[in-house]
Amino acid sequence: MRFGQHLGRAPGPGGAARVVALMLLLAAAGCSSFDVLGTSSQPSSPPPADSSGGSSFTQRIKNMFSSGNASGQEKVAATAPSGPDPNIDCPGVTVRSGAATLGVNAPGADPSPTNLRFQATIAQTARECAVSAGNMTMKVGIQGRVILGPAGAPGKFEVPMRLALVREGIEPRTIWTKLYRVAVTVPPGESNVPFVQVEEAMSFPVPGREDLEAYVVYVGFDPSALASQPERPKRPGKKAR
């Protein structure tokens, strides 16, 4: 499992303006995390479910991200009444070092800022936990942004992202991991758009409190998962008779 980013050389004169705009957007994006509570962080009346049939957690995450309410660092308690400890803490969510941004260059072009098609960045994360019958289920929401580069154009993009629950220690152990291929569309006339990815079924047996304190959820882009389209074999030409 690899997380990483692509860096380039200094831009040429033709792409300087778009490179500067790209850097300003990335600096403004930042990265923050917050927790989702079933009480104090909820509005007085629950928001309606979206037309696509999304769950209440997904809709709450979208509402919180869109409203910018990401400054809280409130304690998350297990929301289910049953379980070994109804006040158990959620594992923290951390953006893996070096995996907060992903740059994709134009096909066949040398890596450089002027050849950048798009840059993806992670801005915010959120999490919620429930304990039931000895198992913990985590729901994790991630907000990111896709920004067109000098060689980019509006259209559809695929952003590879990975979540991994790891027990840190002398010998780190991966408990749960999943790769997502997030589809993002930049419409005509736009240079950047936000996107949201939600995982609602990260489930695992609840360990002892000391072990649970060592659990960390890592999120990051996974450039090794970028699908390379193999060339189609050329059909042999017809032999002259």
Q: What is the pLDDT of residue 94?
A: 95
pLDDT confidence of residue 89:
80
Please report where in the chains the tokens 């957007």 appear, as a residue. 25
Neighbours of 202 (CB within 10 A): 21
pLDDT at residue 225 in the model: 84
Strands 101-105 and 116-132, bridge-based pairing: antiparallel
Report the distance separating Cα 78 and Cα 38, nearest Å. Answer: 10
Tell me the CATH number for domain 31-43+72-225.
2.60.40
Q: How many angstroms separate the CA atoms of 217 and 225, rounded?
A: 19
Whether this prediction's pTM lies above 0.75 is answered by no
pLDDT for 17 equals 52
pLDDT at 87: 61
| pLDDT averaged over 10-residue windows placed end to end, the chain, 241 residues | 40 49 50 45 37 64 68 36 55 94 89 90 92 92 95 94 96 96 95 94 92 95 73 49 50
Confidence at residue 220, expressed as pLDDT on a 0 to 100 scale:
97
